[in-house]
Amino acid sequence: MSLSTEERTIIIDSIRNIPDFPKPGIIFKDITTLLGNPKALNILMDHLTNRYLGYNLDYVAGIDARGFIFGSILADRLGIGFVPVRKKGKLPYTTVAEKYSLEYGFDEVEIHIDAFGEKKGAKVLLVDDLIATGGTAKAAASLINKVGAKCVEACFIMELAFLKGREGFDTQVYSVLQID
């Protein structure tokens, strides 16, 4: 089931554009206004819930930090567990890490080694708010697979399509909104 034109417009209109943040020439997509708009948030979460009901997922994994918000709401609606994928040094137990490239240097994300319990091959949906170049999400999907689960799809609220971040993914990619 896809969003109607009206539903898409409500979601898009609820996202604030911040020009020149974090540096000149960038238009930052601020989802805090979406979170504060119950009608837009409910439309979005109903859409995602309906999309993923038939996937028979075991977990939703969300990327630090905005992926935690959408991912945990979706996991609750689907009646399944939520797993955080965090920036290096933020998880308290034994972790597995994955480095990824940034414009200038590298960063790293981690997941608990036992994030998906004893269930080998657990079906996991990866969620984040935005895909730009895709580095963080590709690293997170790799981590899910490294700890014995299966990342069945990566879902994003927005995709900056002109940056081609979905290219090179080893899993399906779905974005609610595409920005060219």
Residues 113, 94: contact at Cβ < 8 Å? yes
* Residues designated as active site: 66, 103
Residue 78 and residue 61: Cα distance in Å, rounded?
A: 13
26: tokens are 């960038």
134 sits in the region (left: phi over 0; alpha: psi -120 to 50; else beta) called left
75: tokens are 């996991």
> SS3 helix, strand, coil % of the chain, rounded to 5?
35, 35, 30
Q: What angle do CA 174, 179, 180 make, to 5 degrees?
A: 115
Residue 176 and residue 48: Cα distance in Å, rounded?
A: 9
